Every structure is written in structure tokens, then in C-alpha cells.
Structure 1
Amino acid sequence: MSGDRTKTKAIEDSRFRQLIDSVVDYAIYMIDPDGIITSWNAGARRFKGYEEAEILGQHFSRFYTEPDRLAGLPQRALDTAKTEGRFEGEGWRVRKDGTLFWSHVVIDPIIDPSGTLVGYAKITRDLTDRKMAEETLKQSEQQFRLLVQSVTDYAIYMLSPDGHLTNWNLGAQRIKGYRPEEVIGKHFSMFYTPADREAGEPQRALDTAAREGRFENKAWRLRKDGTQFLAHVVVDPIWGETGTLLGFAKITRDITEVTQAQHALEQTREALFQAQKMQAIGQLSGGIAHDFNNLLTVILGNLEIVRKRVTDDPKIMRLLDNATQGAMRGVSLTQRMLAFARRQELKTEPVEIPALIQGITGLLRSSLGPSVGLETRFAPDLEPALADLNQLELAVLNLATNARDAMPNGGKIVISARNEVVSDAARSSLPVGQYVCLSVTDTGEGMDPTTLASATDPFFTTKGVGKGTGLGLSMVHGFIAQLGGRFILHSQKDVGTTAELWLPVAIPGAVRATVIETPAMSTIPGLSVLVVDDDSLVLTSTSLLLEDLGHRVISATSGAQALEAFESGQAIDLVITDMAMPHMNGAQLAQAIRNRQPDLPIILATGYAERLEGFVTELPRLSKPFTQLHLVEVIAQAMK
């Protein structure tokens, strides 16, 4: 029994030695009570440079620098470990090749059961990179202090929590006229006008900064010679790690002669904020539209199946038609949201302008309100325009809303369209060709020439803070230019504004019908289709539509589950996979399937236009929400 324990202990000791020797980021070795090295691991060999045979039996003080050895640091480390139970410290050490490294050292005494010191366990870690980073940071901080001190265009100084100055830079000395010894220790209210001091402005600035995280203001301040200057002031609180207010950082700039330039800078900052807000709203809108597309896919799919299986009761059919029309309105809404979020591909088609305007007239009237009249005027021989229907609707709504805002006391908006021909490109900003000019005219405040010149610039807005993004007209401009047309503004102060959308003419007679129909469908029957979607409702709806077409369906709620279907050996003729799935998206799944079966047809179902790369860009796309007819068409395309 004792022999077994001895054997077990020997095995454990052997494994422990193997573990220690496998560590390469730490030097772990033993020294006897006199400091002689008795063991050596791979980590010590790696960053100290000595082989085990070279170092065993040597005194560990050889790793110390000459000044540290003369100062007795090696023995002091052992004495500390012995008396206090541990030594821990950092310092420069010497490698075999004479180079130095910064080390973190821990020494623990090894005491046997009888209480006798049998040696020490020493762990050393190479922290040279961290030390260099600290030195770099220290140097950077010194350079920053020098930089602050050398700045002459800004007064930069610190305040104690109660407002007394604690330092003073050259910019403060230049702008305010005081030398450091004249102001350090004094209260910063000395720079305020008597009226502002009586009104409590200095303390209000500190209170606002502490409460709101920042105080910023423009006001008159006093120089040493008694003259005043218009100052732009920023006060930021400085908080300690425990939440204690340590003081304030105060930056003052003399803007007496550059107020106009500062105003332009503030406009730019506001534009940046608005752009960030628009980006966040766009991302939110795109996500919501994607989820709605999934819901609408389920609703429309089930309505199609129900329509096939119910009786010809006109009341029931009317209910189904009404539900379908409601769902299609939802489709239109999600398309607008995706267009706003720029997550929809630009899809050009022939568009009848009168029909488009008629379709959104109700929405326009409800948006414009009772004080604004709406009138439409269309040429009787108006050609269809080549445009993206949803984007064009959005552009008209945007222009109509702008027109409404330009008529706070009410007025009239006229939406009109006419045919135009450009025959001389040299005299026009448009290429030679036929165009439809769609215009939105209001009787509002109008714009002066300066405002008109900047109206289509990104971030430019004449509306108040928080009321306009400054992106509306620039988005319309970019959309129309992408179509090959032009966006032109005409305006006169106190008369009104006309916004013209010049759109290329489409091929006559090519306008697509918008009536909901149930056309005859021909499909390839009897396919074994693997359907993959993490949304169980969409998965069920798609499966039912496919089964109704005579196909056999294999369902999977994830990419991993889909691949298991392949591993199980099931016969699969076609794969229809959702794009937006967790862990493994549709593109990744398609790549994995292509690696297994290069010729297997794959269809990507998506709620919005993702950015795709590689071979998946050539795969058939099934846009959500889809109908059974769409399924038939895309399956036929995939199985060619």
C-alpha cells in the first residue's frame, strides 16, 4: 500500500515538473537557502538566455545589475521573503547576453513540516514591454504638459473645486495679461465683469459643469488692463476614480474678432450630431423593417393558402382581399423604411407619375394639415419616368414636408409634371434625351440667393436646432443624380420655392401593373427542398407554400441544423435559406453547402439588401415578403 502511494506521488511530482517546465511566459525556479539555483524551467531559459546546465549551482544574484548587487538587493529580497513570508518587487535584471529587461519578481520561502527553511520558490516575469509603455506614457504626459504650456491661442488652466486657480499657461498670460504668480491661488471670478459677478455667473458655471458634465458659454471677460474681450469658455469637471470632484479644467478663447468663424464651427458640430442621429435612426429603421418583412411574409403566405382553400363565399373573399391589401400597405411601409435606412437596392422601373402621386395623396394631405392646400397638374401626354418607385415617393414626401414647413401660416402646394426634351447638352446640366420634370411648388417664405446656393449641401438646414437634419435635399439630389437626372431648385424670397426632379423617360408602355392578381403558376413538382430560417413562423409559412406546390420540405432552424440534414444523407434538390441568422448566416451556410455539393441550387431569402461577396452574389434572391408566385419564379430560375 505504501509502495502504491510512493509510486503515485512520484507520478504526481513528474507531472508537476512537466507542467512547470512547459511554462514559457514565466521564469520559475528554485534556490536553496543560500541563493544557489537548484532548478530551471523553460520560461527562465527563454527570456534569461541560460541553459539549465549553465545556471544550476550558480547564485541567483548574477541576474541583478552591478549597482543592485553592490547595494545588497539580492540578499535583502531573500531576507524579506524569509521574515515576511513573501518578497515582491520590480526592477531591471540582466540576461546572459548582457541586455537588460524589466522584471516582476515574487519570492516565496519553502518551509518543511519541521519549520526549517529548505529554500525559495522564485517566479520572474518579463515586463519590459509594459515598462516601455509606461515610459512612453510618461514622456507623452510630459510632452502634453509642454504642449499645453506652449499654447498661446487658448487660456488653459485648472481650478480647485471651489474655483481657485492652480496653474496658468502662456495662452492665459497672453489673452488675460496676468503672469502665473499674479493669479495662481486667486478665485477665477476675477475675470468676470462686475455685473456677471453680482449675478452669480462664476458659481453657476461651476455648478452647471459639475451637474451636467460640462459648461460652455460666450460672454464678456476682463483683462488685467481693464479692457473687455468676448470669450468662448468651456469648463469640464475632473472626477476621481471614486467619484470625488477633484476640480475643473477651464479653456478660454478670445473670439472678439472671430465670432463669425466660431459660429460656422458650431454649425459644423451640430451637423455632425445630426448625422450621427440620422445614422442611428437609419439602423433602427432597417432593423424594424427587417422584422416586419418576416411578419408580412407569414401573413401574405398564409392568406394565399387560405384563399385557395376557402369556398367562393364573396364575403370571405372580400375579407381576404382586405387583409391582403392591408398587408401590402405594410410592404410599402417597410420599403420606405428600408429606403430611408439605405438598406434597399435602387430598383429602377417605369413609373406613371400621376398614379404615384394619387397613391400617396392621402398620406400627403394628412401630413400637410388643414391650412395647406394641395393641387396636382399633369400633362395629358405625360411619359412614364424611369425611377425607383419607393425612393421617388420618399423624395416627394420630403419635398412636400419642406414646403409645408416653409408656410407656417398656411398656403398652397402644387405638384405638377411635364415632358421635357434636352437637345443641347452644352446649354444644360443634363445629357441629351427625354425627361419628365416632376415639380413641387409652394407659396412659402422662399430663399435668398445665399441660402439657395447652399440648400442642397449636406447638413445645411434653415430649421431650428433639432427640427431639421440638413440631409433631406442632399439625399434627394443624390438619388436623382443616380438615376441619371437632376434636382434643380428655384426660389425667391417671400414668393416661394419650386423643386424640380428631372427624371429620364422610360420606354413607353412598359409600366408595371399594380393590381393584385393570382396568375397561373407553373412549377417543377416533386422537389426535395431544404428550407432554413431561424424564425419559426416564416419557416412554417414557407414550408406550407412549398408543400402546396407539390414539393417535399425538410425544415431547419439554423445553419448547423441544415448541415446535419446533409450529413444524414437525405436527398436534397434545392436549398432556400434566410440570410440574417445568428451564428451562421445564409451566405456562410451557402458556402458550406457549396463545399459539399458544388452544383446544388441555393436561393437566398432576405428582408433587405445585405452586402454580399464572392459566389453568393450570383445566387437567386428571394425578397421578403414574398408570394407563392415569387417562389415559383425563383425556383424556376434556380433550377435552370
Structure 2
Amino acid sequence: MEKISADTAELFEILPAAVFACDIKGKITYFNQKAADFWEKPHEISSDIYYQSLNIYHPDGTILNIDLYPMQMAIRERTAVKDAEILIERPDGVCLYVESHCTPILNPLGELTGIITMLIDKSDKMSQVQHNISNQKSQDNLVKHLELKVIQDNLDLQKSEDRYHKMVEEVEDYAILMLDTDGNVQNWNLGAQKIKGYTEEEILGKNFSLFYLDEDRERNLPQSLIRQAELEGKATHEGWRLKKNGEKFWGFIVLTALHDDENNVIGFSKVTRDLTEKKLLEDQLREHAKNIEFRNKQLEEYAHIASHDLQEPLRKIRIFSEMLASKITDKEALTDIHKIESAAERMTVLIKDVLAYSEIAQGQHMYSWTDLNHVLNNVKEDCELAILEKNIKIEQSILPEIYAVPIQMHQLFSNLITNALKFSKPLGIISILGTIIPKSQANDFFDFSDDTSTDYLELKFRDNGLGFDPKYSDHVFKLFQRLDTTKTGTGIGLALCKKIIENHGGKITVKSKAGEGTEFLIYLPLKLQDGTEI
């Protein structure tokens, strides 16, 4: 059985792709290290069959018929199959998105004798198909047999190596070229022409420093990479490169020294990949992150200034309310004045909380013991006019004191009660009920997906108002979703409620029926931030 030469094997070892060949029985006759990594299990030459442990799919995750395998098509059509994108599942369950290049091998008589295959890993596309794979793949779809005809024992060595080189030359995703010891270009594949813009005739004999920016040439970067590869065997670099038309692209290069039988450096292989899109996306993400950080700082500054500025008019409201109260003897009027003072005091507290929130980087520092009865009473007082206007009855149970962010609890109760008032009928009833659910029973009330490690507070906000069709239950917590456009509101109140509950490690859901009312069901863990149970 003939083997590829040492030079060809060395070339395949530096390629960033899996390359392998088989005999007519499907037994492996050659594979590079990338192929060994791809299979992720040891293989023995002339013993193991490469495909026994692999499963092959369409890019959308559906099973690939054996007649459509790239290697089968190459054998059937007696022609090369390039750029065939498939999914291959390894024995460890990992799916790889690869581009397959299959080249038929012909003997001196022109008879088809086998296939040489190159697999280029393009798993950066996996995010586009991962969801389809998980939904569509099943054990019944696993490919058990892959029929291949491969290299016969009397394969002509020269013709084989010609086809090896031809396959490398036709790869378009990588610029693969050979350099002499001075860095002058000796050969040029289609990928190099596609990425860099030069034809083979235009570039052969010219120094590879032609691809570098002026400032890189001035600091001798190309020569430094040559020296590094000569001393260390390999050099890598990532940076801006030049095309023939002067356009820049972001390239990642691997420069590898090639040696003769006496270990003397006889040249270099250079593999370049165009990562411009990746580079631009990373730069854009960094810029967005900077903008977000800048805007967050502006918002913090604004909250700080606004909080201080708003306290002054509130201070005057409280002062003048006290002065007015001292001049009035009418009990009903005094009651109204005291309500004004109470509302102004609560507003002052809220503003101070907002100020503190803007000055503390981590929200957990805002947690404190919060009496939910006190929160509820404050919200009821804020909503007193609306409650009286519709003559709504408020039913409530005794609520516990929990470790939470007080301002967020106030906002949660306010949004839910305001929402209930908005859709309640005159003489309606709004209930706020709290129950402690032991951790052993928590999953019986709500699916937490795993065993819970703490008790939960179950809060029910229930009304007998207009309600809505249950099919819209998933929409009510989305930003700017308003099921009834005749009612006032911004469409963000319930979205904020969901965010507050999630901030506290809890969950919220809703049940409703048109004409019969709505119930919001909330679960809050009764656990401190350090993990200690309340």
C-alpha cells in the first residue's frame, strides 16, 4: 500500500481542516491530526473504518439520505463535490457544522478507485441551526452505514499527490500558499486569490510583505514572523492586511516552517483566514458597550440631580401644609391636609430611595427588611380616590415581613393594584392574599423546574373585573402590550412587575377569563441574599 510523501503529510498537518483517505473497504489509510481531533477517538491505519461512529444530517437537522452524502455523490458523478455543508455528530454527542470537499481518485487507467476528503469546521454557524437540531434529531435518525469506495492498494503515488494538491488549491475559504526561505510566494490557491485579489501570475515570486500595511512593514513585522516560525516552528498573528485594490481586511495567519529530511528549514507554509466580519462585529459590540456605559453614567447623574432637585419643592409642600394646618380648625380640612403631608413624606422617601439606587452599583445592597402590610397600606392610601370613586372593596390577609428592595415592592404593589382598579367594575372586590408555601410543596403550586431549597411566599392579587381571554396570558408581561386600548396606561406596568419579581428570584403568572376577573399569582423566595432562610 502506497503512502503520501513526508512533504505532503507535513502540508496536511498545518492545514486548519480534517483530511483523510480510505481504501476500498473504508479502512483509513491516512489522516492528519485535525481528523484525529475531529473523530475524538484513536484510529488505526488499515484497521478502523472512519464512518462507523459518525452520524450525518442536513444543515436544518433532518437526517441526510445516504445517496446525498458528498462522498457518495462524488463517487456516483465521478467529479469533485465542493462546498457541501452538512452536520456531523461525533460519538460524544457534539454536532459540528462542516463544509465537505470530496475529490475522486482515479488510477492511471482512469478508473475510479476512491475518495480523498477535506472537512472544514464552520461551527460558527451552529447557532443558526442548533434549535432545529435539538427538535428534529432522534436516535432513529442516526446514520448506521456509509458506503464508500476508496484508494486501492495499487494507487499511483504521483496521481494521488496531484489530487491532494489540487484539492488544497481549490479551497476558497483559506488562503494557502508556500513561501521560500526569504518569504517569496511559490504557489497560490483559489482561496488566496479570493481573499487577497491577486491572480497566481501576478503574485508568484513576490514577497509576502506585500500584503501588510505600511506601518507593519516599517516595523519589520513580516520578517519578525518569518524569524519566529524559523526558530519556534510556527508563528501566528491577527491584524489588518491589504488586498490588491488597497482595501483592508482583518486576517488571522498561521506561518509554519517546512523542513527537509535533515531538519533544515526549506520554506514556509502560510494559511490566512479572512475574519473581517468577526472583527467588525466585535468592534461594534465594544462600541455599543461603551455607549451603554456612558448612557448609564448619564442616567445615574440625572437621577442624582433630579432626586436632589425634587426634594426642595416637596420640602416646601410639607412646610406650608404644616403652616396651613396650624391655622385651620375644621377637622375634615385637617384630615385632607394630613393626607397631603403623608403623601409628600412618602414621595420624599421614594426620591431618596431612587437616589440611593443610582449610587449603589449592586442592587443587593438595597435589600432590607420590608413589611408588606406597610407597603400595601401606603399604596391603598395613594389609590384612595380611585377606590372611593368606584366604591371598591379591598380584602387582604396579614402579610409577612420579607427581605426585599422596598422601593421595588412598593412599585410592584402599586402597579398591580392600579391595574386591578383600572379594569374593575363599580362595587367590585380586590383581594391581596399571602400564604407561606413550604419548600417541600412549592413545586405543587408552581413549576420551578428543579427541587426548591427554600420556602416561598405566595401572593395573590385577584379582582372580579373585566378580565381577558386566557390566550393572551403570555402577552400581558411584554413591554408596551395593552390588551384594552380604551384604558389609559403606557403598557409597561406589568412588564416592570415581572422584572421586579425576577430580580428577587421569584416567578409570576396570571389567570384570567373574560368577564370574570383576573388573578396574578406571585412566588417570592423567603431567603436572604447570603442564602440564610428567613
TM-score strictly above 0.5: no
Q: Which has the larger radius of gyration?
A: 1
TM-score, normalising length from structure 2?
0.36
